[in-house]
Amino acid sequence: MSKTTLENFLQSLVLVYSLLIIIYVVMGFLTLPYNLWIGRIRGFLHDTVEPYLAMWRRVLPSVGGLDFSPLIGIIALQLVLQIVVVIINRA
């Protein structure tokens, strides 16, 4: 079974977005000194990732102050990717 170009593109897109979520979470734990480029990176990550994670925060209850929205968000991305790949392969 060979992968199509569309499947490769979607897998790459999900991988990059998942990495952006992980970087966003890690940068939230770090206290970095002020730097123009770090501020721009944080702003980009916030603008890119936060709307998606906010959607999951509205659905999920907070458990002891822990935020599971990044984990659930990545799992949801993987599930949707698998469903789309199956649909593409059947067509």
Helix or strand or coil: residue 30?
Answer: coil
Please state the pTM of the whole predicted model. Answer: 0.89
- Side-chain-side CA neighbours of residue 52 (13 Å): 19
Average pLDDT, stretch 37-61?
Answer: 93
Question: Per-residue confidence at 33, pLDDT binned at 50, 70, 90?
Answer: confident
Q: Which of 25-29, 67-71, 78-82 has the highest mean pLDDT?
A: 78-82
The whole-angstrom separation of Cα 27 and Cα 21 is 10
Q: What is the pLDDT of residues 2-32, one digit of tens each?
A: 568 889 999 999 999 999 999 999 999 888 8
